[in-house]
Amino acid sequence: MRYALMLLLLAPAACAPVRSADAEPDFGAHWHDGRAELDGYTLRISRYGEPRDGEAVMVFVTEPFSRSQRVKLDDPSRTPGDAVEVLKLNFVRDFQTGIYDYNTMVSVFSRSDDFAPLKVSMSSAEWCGHVYEELVLHERTVDERVMSYFEGESHTRELERRDGVLEDNLYIVLRGLRGAFLPAGGRTEVPFLPGPLISRLSHRPAEWTTAVIERPAAAERVTVPAGRFDAIVYVVRTPEREGRFLIEAAYPHRILRWSWRASGNAGFLGGDESGELTGTARLAYWQLNGSGDERYRAELGLTGRTAP
């Protein structure tokens, strides 16, 4: 599957009653309004053989990105030849395991014009220590760097770049922000690279595998804490896990529900996961850092730190 065929993005709006998809708005008109889309979720993830409840947040925003440095540009007008616009996803997961908690974030930087990934980074902090990993994608290679508190896990290496799909980029491309990933009833088999978080939880290096991605012909009507929606369904099958994504049929095609189910030891370590949309907002959230701005968290359905 070509990334050029994986055109999609997301346009946020308040949760609404069930409705059919109308004419799609222009990507730029929606995403260049100076705000970000914030989506709150319930989270359930397996760890050490038990389900753990927590919260998740997805933050989607466009921003200028440096082709050479692979970081956000402060002033793209100074180096226009180095600048590329990306749709960034910051995917935060917080959950507890007994007395201690995990605070994790995955950042995905994908080109806005075709949603090809340029970089994925992951950080995990829990009471045992820190782990940081990043994947930088080039035309023919993927540079991986891991820094871990575990002996023997820190390394740098080079993987082959394949014409496939990165797990963390699914949360962007399946939204169909510039056109559907697959037509209704469609199916494709692609190279697949699991995300750094699942590699971290399973203590195994990332390696390319394959995935079959299907879009059933029929839509579904789904009820989540944020409301009731018509949903497009995608099913992702890999040798060790099966994912199911319910995508809002109407623009901005938010992720209403996702789930991963693992076979064997992968489920014990963290391969099982699910989330449901609790609330959504479009905000310039980086300006909302004063006392009292906590009230905006209610729009996302966030209740604060989870109890043991």
Query: What one-character DSSP code corresponds to residue 77?
Result: G
Asked if residue 4 belongs to a domain, the reply is: no
Mean pLDDT taken over the chain: 89
**Candidate from 100-114, 128-142, 201-215 with smallest mean pLDDT:** 201-215
pLDDT at 205: 82
Asked if residue 158 belongs to a domain, the reply is: yes
* Pick from 103, 39, 95: nearest CA to 307: 95
Asked if residue 248 belongs to a domain, the reply is: yes
Q: Which two tokens stand for residue 2?
A: 């070509």
Asked if residue 7 belongs to a domain, the reply is: no
Asked if residue 266 belongs to a domain, the reply is: yes
Write the CB contacts of 59 (distance below 8 Å, at least 6 apart in sequence): 36, 37, 38, 39, 88, 89, 90, 91, 92, 285
Asked if residue 172 belongs to a domain, the reply is: yes
pLDDT at 75: 93
Tally of structural domains, the chain = 1
Let me know: does 25 contact 251? Beta carbons within 8 Å: yes
- Band (263; pLDDT cuts 50, 70, 90): confident
Q: Residue 101 pLDDT > 60, yes or no?
A: yes
pLDDT per residue as tens digits for the range 49-93 = 899 999 999 999 999 999 999 999 999 999 999 999 999 999 999
Averaged pLDDT for residues 157-167 = 96
DSSP strand pairing (141-148 vs 129-137): antiparallel
Q: Sign of torsion, CA 22 89 170 265? A: negative
Q: Residue 3 pLDDT > 90, yes or no?
A: no
Q: Pick left, alpha or beta for residue 153 (phi over 0 → left; psi -120 to 50 → alpha; otherwise beta).
A: alpha
Let me know: does 204 contact 195? Beta carbons within 8 Å: no
pLDDT at 270: 61
Asked if residue 156 belongs to a domain, the reply is: yes
Q: Which two tokens stand for residue 93?
A: 């997961």
Asked if residue 3 belongs to a domain, the reply is: no
DSSP letters for 17-60 = SS----SPPPHHHHHTSS-EEEEEEEEEEEETTEEEEEEEEEEE
pTM comes to 0.89
pLDDT per residue as tens digits for the range 187-242 = 999 999 999 998 888 888 889 999 999 999 999 999 999 999 999 999 999 999 99
Domain of residue 154, residue span: 14-300
